[in-house]
Structure 1
Amino acid sequence: MAEIAIYLDADACPVKDETYRVAARYGLHVFVVANSFLNLPREPWIERVIVGDALDAADDWIAERAGPGAIVVTADVPLASRCVRAGATVLAPTGKPFTDASVGMALATRNLMQDLRESALVTGGPKPFSQRDRSAFLGALDQAVNRLRRAGGR
C-alpha cells in the first residue's frame, strides 16, 4: 500500500486543527485544499493547495488523487462518493465514515433535502457543529489511520 496522506476539503472544514494533531502524531502528510488562501501552521508536512475558484475545482483536485492509502475529510457528499469509489477512506467532519454501503443513501438524502429547500418546504441547514462531533472525528481519524497502517500503509 502507498504512503498514507490526508486530503482536507478545507474551505469550510471545522476540524483542521484536529487533523493536524493526528497527522503530527503519525507523521502523515496533509494536503489542505481550498479555493482561496488559508492561514496554516508552518510545518513541512502540511501542504497548502489553492485550486482557484472554478466550480468543483477543489473536489476535482482531491478526487483525482484519492485512492487506497488516502484519507479524505469532507462534508461534501458528491465528493465523498467519488472518493469512496476510488478506494479512499472518507470521513465527515463529524467522524461519520462514508462507505460503499452508506454513500448512496447519503447522496439520495442530500438530493432530497436540496429539492425540499429549493421548494421552500424545508429551510435551514444542518445542526450546529458540536464538541461531541469534534471528539467523534478525532476518534474516527485515529481509527482510520491505524486501520490503514495495519493494512500496510506508511
Structure 2
Amino acid sequence: MFKFSVWVDADSFPVKARSFAVSHASSKMVPLVFVANHEIKSEKTVRMILCKKEKDAADNYILSHCGNNDIVLTRDIVFAARLLEKEIKVMNDRGFVFTKDNIADKLREREFSLNMAEIGLGGGKENYYGEKELKKFSTVFSEELQKHIIADVYNIKK
C-alpha cells in the first residue's frame, strides 16, 4: 500500500470524473477517499467519509486529514487555495492542476464570474462536462498519480 491517498471533494465532483478516479486509483492500488455531506455510491475500494451538512464541512475535513504527499480533487477554487497553503497537490475535474503561481489568477476569474452573474451577465458554459473535459482530466490525473507512485516507491520528497 502506498503512503499517499487521493481525496475527492465529492459533493460536486462530476460522476464521470469520480468514476475514472475510482477505476484508475483502484487499478494502481492507491487509497481513494470520498468526502461529502451525503452518501456517494461507489466501489467497495473507496472509503466514504460523511460530514455534517454544514458549509465547508467536507473541505475542512479533507484539509485537516490529508497529508503533504496526497492528491486532492476538487472543483472549489477557494478550497484549492487553502490546500496550496498546506502544500497539497490539488487539481480540478477538468485536469487543471492548481499551483501557487496560478491560484491568484483563478481566484480573480472566480470573483469576476460571480460579479457578472450577480448583474445577470453570467453564463452556464463552465457547467458543461463532456467527453473533452473528462479526457483532459483522465490524462492529467493519470500523470499526477504516476508521479506520486514513483515518488512513493523511490521515497522521493514531493
Please report the TM-score for the alignment, with normalisation by the length of structure 1: 0.89
| Residue among 28, 48, 52 paired with 1:26 | 28
Q: For the residues of structure 2 that align with 1:109 and 1:21, how far apart are their CA atoms?
A: 32
> Within 5 Å, which residues of 2 pair with 1:4-153?
4-14=4-14, 15-43=17-45, 46-124=46-124, 126-152=126-152
Query: What's the CA shift for 1:125?
Result: 5.2
Q: Is the 8 A contact 1:66 1:86 kept in 2?
A: no
Separation (CA, whole Å) in 1 of partners of 2:89 and 2:47: 19
For residue 49 of structure 1, report the CA deviation from its aligned partner. Answer: 0.5
Alpha-carbon separation, structure 2, partners of 1:120 and 1:37: 34
How far does the alpha carbon of each residue in 1:31-89 deviate from its partner, in whole angstroms, 9 at most, with x for none?
A: 1011111212122xx11111011111011111222342111111100111111221111
Shift of residue 4 of structure 1? 1.6
Residues 66/105 of structure 1: CA separation in 2 closer, same or farther (3 Å cut): farther
Contact in 2 for aligned 1:4/1:69 (Cα 8 Å): yes
Relative to structure 1, the CA distance from residue 106 to residue 56 in structure 2 (aligned partners, 3 Å threshold; closer, same or farther) is same
| CA root-mean-square deviation | 1.7
Q: Where in structure 2 are there 5+ consecutive unaligned residues?
A: none
Answer 1 or 2: higher relative contact order, Cα 8 Å, separation at least 6.
1
* 3-state secondary structure, aligned to 1:126: helix
SS in 1 for 2:152: coil
Output the amino acid matched with 1:98. F
Distance (Å, rounded) in 2 between the aligned partners of 1:80 and 1:62 = 11
Q: Is the 8 A contact 1:10 1:34 kept in 2?
A: yes
For the residue of structure 1 that corresponds to 2:141, the secondary structure is: helix
Aligned residues: 151
Q: 1:94 to 1:123 in 2, by over 3 A?
A: closer
Cα shift readout 1:95-124 (whole Å, capped 9, x = no counterpart)? 111111111110111011111211223243
Structure 2 length as normaliser, TM-score?
0.87
Q: Could you list the runs of 5+ residues in structure 1 that have no partner in the other structure?
A: none
CA distance in 1, matches of 2:123, 2:140: 30
Residue 152 of structure 1, CA deviation: 3.1
